[in-house]
Amino acid sequence: MKLKDKVCMVTGAASGIGREIALTFAREGGKVAIADLALDAARATAAQIAASGGLAMGVAMNVADEAQVNAGVAQVARAWGGVDVLVSNAGIQIVHPLEEFPFADWKKLLAIHLDGAFLTTRACLPHMYASGRGGSVIYMGSVHSKEASVLKAAYVTAKHGLIGLAKVVAKEGAKRGVRANVICPGFVRTPLVDKQIPEQAKALGISEAGVIKNVMLKETVDGEFTTTQDVAQIALLFAAFPSNALTGQSLVVSHGWFMQ
Ligand code: NAD
């Protein structure tokens, strides 16, 4: 029970990687707030956790909306007495060649990834400071926090930005025991990636199998997707790590696609 009684907020946890992190944290004794645009799906995950003896709640939240973020974090803190762990995970992907990238799509992607990370961090930090216990802030970066790919100007920019934010939170939070780190997964088979496969096939003029083999997994050491469970184990490590020894870091979990 590495997270016994810790209050954990995971954004974008109604699906994919966030959902797996929520399930993992609940198994480790955490009280898990599943914050997502998709409230019904968030509540379904919370019900699944409750059915296996854990504690969870679904929270309606657009992470790019200041008022919704503040209200959602306040709701969780009121219910469970604070917030100990934040996983800022909600994200989307939009691909276009740079010279055609619609400004509205650029702004939408940056708002969800960067405004969302900023707003949720700003709302959770006072609770971590007030408790005297500190806390752990975890950002869902990507190999694209370190590397670039064609068609992904907005995503690569946003994911690089999260590393800067984590370093500032690590410095500002240290005195009060708040740590901040970034997880950088390679491709994980979730709805976000399933949507990209036909889009990239069309944009690059190759088959869908070709996108998987020659674009997504080409640089891995073994041609394998990273799994949601792989990423959830790294999130658990960062969430439960007990000191400032591990802060301001970014850890790549990608079957060797990117090596530091
Ligand atoms: P997913 O599409 O399965 O899940 C994303 C979740 O975020 C959904 O439940 C969606 O409703 C929610 N969401 C989207 N916009 C939101 C908003 N404005 N406010 C609140 N919730 C919102 O995607 P995933 O693959 O699990 O991705 C999760 C995170 O992992 C993202 O930040 C993504 O960039 C990152 N990531 C994914 C991969 C991958 O290969 N799947 C690799 C590296 C990083």
Candidates 45, 147, 190: which one to mutate for ligand 1, based on the most atoms within 8 Å of Cβ?
Answer: 190
Task: Please report the atom of ligand 1 found closest to the CA of residue 17.
Answer: 26
pLDDT value at position 138? 99
- List, in sequence order, every beta strand (DSSP E) within 93-230: 135-140, 178-185
CA of 19 to the centre of ligand 1 (A): 10
pTM: 0.98
Q: Residue of the nearest CA to atom 39 in ligand 1?
A: 188
**Dihedrals φ, ψ of 148, to 5°?**
-115, 160
Specify whether the CB–CB gap between 148 and 98 falls below 8 A.
no
Residue 185: beta bridge partners?
253
Rounded to whole angstroms, how far apart are CA atoms 67 and 164? 24
Give the pLDDT score at 104: 98
pLDDT tens-digit profile, the chain (260 residues) = 999 999 999 999 999 999 999 999 999 999 999 999 999 999 999 999 999 999 999 999 999 999 999 999 999 999 999 999 999 999 999 999 999 999 999 999 999 999 999 999 999 999 999 999 999 999 999 999 999 999 999 999 999 999 999 999 999 999 999 999 999 999 999 999 999 999 989 988 999 999 999 999 999 999 999 999 999 999 999 999 999 999 999 999 999 999 98
Q: Is CATH 3.40.50.720 what the domain over 7-186+226-247 is classified as, yes or no? A: yes
- Per the annotation, the verdict on 155 as an active-site residue is yes
Residue 260: what pLDDT? Answer: 84
d(CA 253, CA 184): 6
Residues of the chain with CATH 3.40.50.720: 7-186+226-247
Q: Considering 118, 155, 225, 238, which one is annotated as catalytic?
A: 155
pLDDT for the residue 203 = 87
Ramachandran angles phi, psi of 48, nearest 5° = -60, -40
Q: CA-CA distances (angstroms) from residue 224 to 30, 58, 107, 181?
A: 30, 32, 32, 25
Distance (Å) from CA 146 to ligand 1 centroid: 18
Say how many Å lie between the CA of residue 13 and the centre of ligand 1: 8
Residue 185 Cα to ligand 1 middle (Å): 12
3-class SS at 173?
Answer: helix
Beta strands, E only, 104-215: 135-140, 178-185
Residues with CB under 6 A from ligand 1: 11-12, 14-18, 36-38, 61-64, 89-92, 112, 140, 142, 185, 187-188, 190-193
